[in-house]
Amino acid sequence: MESNQLVISGVILELEKLRVTPGGVPIRTLLLEHRSRQVEVETPREVFCRIKVAIRGPQLQSLVDQLQVGSRVTVTGFLARSGYKDEDGIRLNLHAQHIELK
């Protein structure tokens, strides 16, 4: 099996309201902004990105109630294309498996 896991921390910029999939699964999406300083080829580099995070299932939804715009979080999960229409798989979302509020 191929590996697909991402751990990233940042600040919540947007938090969409709860919706339910046709299959009855609760889902919430947030926009996470990450800023850090990394070293690449022995050279410091400023890193900035924004990524949508999908939070699905009842086990994570209890934590979502504590989140708000401006909250600092660390999210662990896997990357997947943003939707079925993205046939090239260029747009990616992070599907949360664990969220830690900082």
Cβ 72 vs Cβ 11: under 8 Å: yes
Give the total number of structural domains in the chain.
1
Q: How far apart are CA 90 and CA 85, in angstroms?
A: 11
pLDDT of residue 76: 97
Domain membership flag for residue 42: yes
Q: How far apart are CA 28 and CA 57, in angstroms?
A: 9
pLDDT of residue 32: 98
Tens digit of pLDDT per residue, the chain (102 long)?
899 999 999 999 999 998 898 999 889 999 999 999 999 999 999 999 999 999 998 777 778 888 999 999 999 999 998 877 767 767 899 999 999 998
pLDDT of residue 59: 76
Residues 6+ apart with CB under 8 A from 4: 78, 79
For residue 25, give the CATH number of its domain.
2.40.50.140
Domain membership flag for residue 92: yes
Domain membership flag for residue 67: yes
Residue range of the domain that includes 22: 6-101
DSSP reduced 3-state for 87: coil
Domain membership flag for residue 39: yes
